[in-house]
Amino acid sequence: MSLFFPSLPHIESTSKRIRVYKRGVCLVDTKNAKLVWLHPNYPIYYFLKDDMPTLYLVELESETTENQITYSVFMGENTEGLATLHKTGPLAGLATLKFDTMDAWFEEDEQIFIHPKDPYKRVDILQSSRHIRIEINGTEIANTRAPRLLFETDLPVRTYIPKTDCRMDLWTPSTHTTGCPYKGVANYYNIVLSSGETFENILWWYPNTTVECSAIKGFVAFFDERLDVWIDGEKQERPVLI
């Protein structure tokens, strides 16, 4: 949870120019967008009805209710996305395009990914000299005195470690990836012990990062929730994610 709001949805105006593209067409170009928190994790963009691309919207009557109208975004002969217009409640008169059905979203001239960044969330990356040692089932898999610590609002501290301070010989590539609007797209590795025991997707890294998180590019982080971690010789309790 990034911020406690007395009630949801929570609506805030933004001074950013927002543009949304599909198949090379700018469907929305507005300076009157709203940041809306439907849940406390992150916001999404909503738009005034007059800023929506009515030329491309076709009502899906089977999914329309008394509270909202659901549209398909129809371009040429293909349905290219989904849109919703609220008719009642605190979001009355506001509409949104489903983020991942669009090709590109821009804040001013900077493209954003996954979802809009939360203005109440902060990510700090600090170089540290703490001694970090990590084991899995008694096998040491990382040992460093040059970690980079990533502090992200309301999340456990993540320790990013140089690959050369890790047992890379135990790694096998995973096809799993995840995306983060603050850091970029992460690739994962599995760990396979000499016993043959495999721990899937237990560490990740960012081959490329956003500009603000470039300090962790090429470093790896482990799921401390599944491992034994010592910091300056003191064994840590495993964090519990809520």
Residue ranges of the domains in the chain? 10-112, 123-235
Q: 10-112, superfamily in CATH? A: Domain of unknown function (DUF427) (2.170.150.40)
On the question of pLDDT at 6 being above 90, the answer is no
The CA-based dihedral angle spanning residues 85, 10, 47, 63, taken in that order and rounded to the nearest 10 degrees: -20
Rounded CA gap, 55 and 60, in Å? 15
pLDDT on residue 79? 76
Place of tokens 């076709």: 58
On the question of pLDDT at 151 being above 80, the answer is yes
The arrangement of strands across the sheet holding 234-235 comes to: 139-144, 132-136, 228-231, 234-235
Residues 47-71: pLDDT tens digits?
999 999 999 999 998 888 999 999 9
Task: Indicate the fold that domain 123-235 takes in CATH.
Answer: 2.170.150
Domains 10-112 and 123-235 share a fold: yes
Beta bridge partners of 135: 140, 228
User: What percent of the chain clears pLDDT 70, i.e. is strictly above it?
Assistant: 98
**Is 180 in a helix, a strand, or coil?**
strand
Rounded CA gap, 242 and 237, in Å? 15
CB atoms within 10 A of CB 176: 13
Contact 144/162 with Cβ under 8 angstroms? yes
